[in-house]
């Protein structure tokens, strides 16, 4: 499907049939349009985006990556931006307005309907990574003493203004949240029944300042479709739907994987060599520094290498084993922190588990390495040194891989930064020090 759409788009562009292309795009799903726009060069992307109606463009823009926003939004006239924002749900509109330069954002807010402008301004008060930053203001609220018939009539009046309606939220005095009623419960109730009689306790009530990752974890935990958002006084101010949560989950996972690799999402959607170099080069300098330190440590212990040159053959494999184990451990911990499986109170439990896992794997691999070294070089001392070095390298790397992300989280730094190049570099330095230290010590003891 994607390839067919891409071929059709290219055919329209090559033949200059732009009006036909615009009509063709109107019949496509916004997500499909965004998918074929992403790999296009910026000029073509802007040209094709300009063929969309304001309504279709408002649906497509929320599906595009941040890199595409950089390339497209800055070249869209403010008048058209205002038309697009007017078509969006409040949460999406706030995201777009927040991304615009201050002057353009002010113009858009002045141009759209006062009610829509007030909603966007309200959402802009909250940080992007909080519940307030991802919530939407479109919802159906009902007073406790309202009848079911009155509420159903108001739902009909709202029409398409409230998308993905799953619950009606029941409020008391001063809009304090009292409960919720599902559409199913509402339709099965008698018309004269009061909302207080059919409402039930909310499975989840989200504080407006709660971190978006915690919100996503709670949605997954309770298998929710929608949840109300309240302020400090318990007043209902918005709702979060499952599609908002999906966006958060995918964004966080993508961000973590990119940071673990020492790059960012920008490189995926950019063909510029300079961008790739700029994103990757700093981490290569980290590896370079770590490599130089590792080399210096080997130079310090050069006497041991001169005495038994056979030890050189096992340095690469020992360091590689430590690096692999460290990456495995850090990946598990980073992912556990992201989904809430690992919490601050479980630090010692997690580290003890990884220590035991590393110890068991180290014993198995170390024994294999020791036997191989013994029969390869026909020396018992080399086998003993290699076995102990592999055991300690794997055990220490497993512990380090778990400890560093937890330390980063404690310091308020994204744990994903602890993986990839950072852990690999630390493991290399510790691996060399460990290997050469054991070699030097054992050779002296066995001399």
Residues in CB range of 262: below 8 A, 6 or more apart: 279, 280, 282, 283, 420, 421
pLDDT-derived band of residue 124, with 50, 70 and 90 as boundaries? very high
Tokens of 446: 């066995």
Same domain (yes/no): 45, 78: yes
Q: Is residue 263 part of a domain?
A: no
Eight-state DSSP code of residue 145: T
Q: Give yes or no for a contact between 122 and 93, defined as CB atoms under 8 angstroms apart.
A: no
In this structure, are 246 and 301 located in the same domain? Answer: no
Helix (H) or strand (E) holding 91: helix 90-99
DSSP state of 230: E
Q: Which of 95, 122, 149 is the last residue of a domain?
A: 122
Tokens coding 271: 């063909």
Q: Same domain for 366 and 399?
A: yes
Q: To the nearest whole number, what is the mean pLDDT of the chain?
A: 85
pLDDT of residue 381: 85
Note whether residue 311 is domain-resident. yes
pLDDT for the residue 264: 55
Residues 281 and 422 occupy one common structural domain: yes
CATH code (residue 359)? 1.10.357.20
Residue 319 domain-assigned (yes or no): yes
Residue 25 lies in a domain: yes
Residue 130 located in a structural domain: no
* CATH number for the domain harbouring residue 182: 3.10.580.10
Domain that holds residue 369: 272-446
Residue 169 and residue 76 share a domain: no
Considering the domain architecture, whether residues 305 and 429 belong to the same structural domain is answered as: yes
pLDDT at 322 (0 to 100): 83
Same domain, 157 and 79: no
Cα separation, 229 vs 242, in Å, equals 13
More confident residue, 2 or 211: 211
User: What pLDDT was estimated at residue 49?
Assistant: 94
Separation between Cα atoms, residue 27 and residue 219, nearest integer Å: 33
Looking at the structure of the chain, the number of domains it has is 3
Q: Is residue 276 located within the same domain as residue 409?
A: yes
> Is residue 173 located within the same domain as residue 73?
no
Q: Do 106 and 176 lie in a common domain?
A: no
Looking at residue 80, which CATH number applies to its domain?
1.25.60.10
**Among the ranges given (1-5, 54-58, 304-308), the one the predictor scored with the smallest mean pLDDT:** 304-308
- The verdict on residue 7 lying in a domain is yes
- More confident site: 43 or 304: 43
Q: Which residues contact 283 (CB under 8 A, 6 or more apart)?
A: 262, 263, 420, 421
The per-residue pLDDT for range 74-107, each reduced to its tens digit, is 899 999 999 999 999 898 999 999 999 999 999 9
Roughly what angle, to the nearest 10 degrees, separates helices 18-26 and 42-49? 70
Q: Stretch 334-355: mean pLDDT, rounded?
A: 76
Q: Is residue 260 part of a domain?
A: no
Assess if residue 334 is contained within a domain: yes
Q: Which residues contact 219 (CB under 8 A, 6 or more apart)?
A: 204, 227, 240, 242, 245
Verify that 356 and 233 share a domain, yes or no: no
Give this prediction's pTM.
0.66
**366, 388 contact by CB (below 8 A):** yes
Section 188-198 average pLDDT = 95
How many Å apart are CA 94 and CA 133, to the nearest integer?
8
Asked if 153 and 109 sit in the same domain, the reply is no
End-to-end CA distance of the chain: 71
Instruction: Write down the pLDDT at residue 425.
Output: 76
**Which residue, 406, 397, 405, is CA-closest to 424?**
397
**Confidence band of 315 (pLDDT split at 50, 70, 90):** confident
- Model confidence over 404-422: pLDDT tens digits? 888 877 877 767 665 666 7
Q: For 193-202, 263-272, 347-356, 392-401, which range has the lowest pLDDT when averaged over its residues?
A: 263-272
- Residue 45: pLDDT band by 50, 70, 90 thresholds? very high
Q: Which residue has the higher pLDDT, 276 or 357?
A: 357
For the sheet with 206-207, list strands across it: 206-207, 226-230, 236-241
* Mean pLDDT lowest among 30-44, 173-187, 328-342: 328-342
């Amino acid at each position: 499907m994607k390839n067919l759409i891409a071929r059709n788009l290219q055919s329209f562009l090559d033949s200059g049939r732009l009006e036909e292309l615009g009509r063709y795009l109107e019949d496509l799903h916004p997500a499909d349009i965004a998918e074929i726009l992403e790999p296009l060069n910026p000029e073509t992307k802007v040209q094709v985006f300009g063929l969309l109606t304001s309504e279709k463009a408002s649906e497509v823009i929320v599906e595009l990556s941040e890199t595409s926003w950089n390339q497209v939004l800055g070249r869209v006239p403010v008048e058209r931006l205002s038309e697009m924002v007017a078509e969006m749900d409040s949460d999406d509109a706030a995201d777009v307005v927040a991304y615009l330069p201050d002057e353009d954002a002010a113009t858009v807010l002045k141009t759209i309907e006062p009610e829509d402008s007030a909603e966007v301004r309200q959402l802009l008060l909250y940080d992007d990574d909080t519940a307030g930053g991802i919530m939407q203001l479109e919802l159906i609220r009902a007073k406790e003493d309202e009848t079911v018939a009155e509420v159903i009539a108001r739902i009909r009046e709202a029409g398409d203004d409230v998308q993905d309606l799953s619950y009606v939220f029941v409020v008391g005095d001063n809009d304090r949240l009292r409960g919720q009623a599902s559409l199913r419960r509402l339709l099965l109730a008698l018309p004269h029944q009061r909302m207080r009689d059919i409402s039930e306790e909310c499975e989840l009530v989200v504080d407006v300042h709660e971190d978006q990752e915690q919100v996503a974890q709670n949605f997954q935990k309770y298998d929710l479709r929608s949840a109300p958002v309240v302020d400090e006084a318990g007043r209902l101010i918005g709702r979060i739907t499952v599609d908002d949560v999906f966006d958060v989950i995918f964004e966080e996972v993508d961000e973590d994987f990119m940071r673990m690799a020492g790059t960012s999402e920008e490189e995926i959607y950019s063909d510029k060599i300079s961008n790739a170099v700029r994103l990757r080069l700093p981490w290569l300098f980290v590896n370079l520094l770590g490599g130089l330190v590792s080399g210096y440590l080997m130079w310090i212990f050069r006497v041991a290498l001169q005495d038994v040159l056979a030890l050189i053959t096992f340095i690469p494999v020992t360091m590689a084993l430590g690096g692999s184990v460290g990456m495995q451990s850090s990946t598990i911990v980073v992912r556990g922190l992201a989904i809430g499986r690992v919490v601050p109170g479980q630090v010692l439990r997690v580290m003890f588990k990884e220590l035991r896992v590393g110890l068991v794997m180290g014993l198995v691999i170390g024994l294999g390495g020791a036997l191989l070294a013994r029969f390869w070089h026909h020396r018992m001392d080399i086998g003993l040194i290699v076995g102990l070095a592999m055991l300690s390298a794997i055990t220490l790397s497993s512990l380090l891989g778990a400890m560093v992300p937890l330390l980063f989280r404690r310091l308020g730094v994204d744990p994903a930064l602890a993986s990839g190049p950072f852990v690999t570099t630390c493991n290399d330095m510790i691996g060399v020090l460990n290997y050469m230290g054991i070699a030097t010590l054992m050779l002296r003891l066995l001399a």
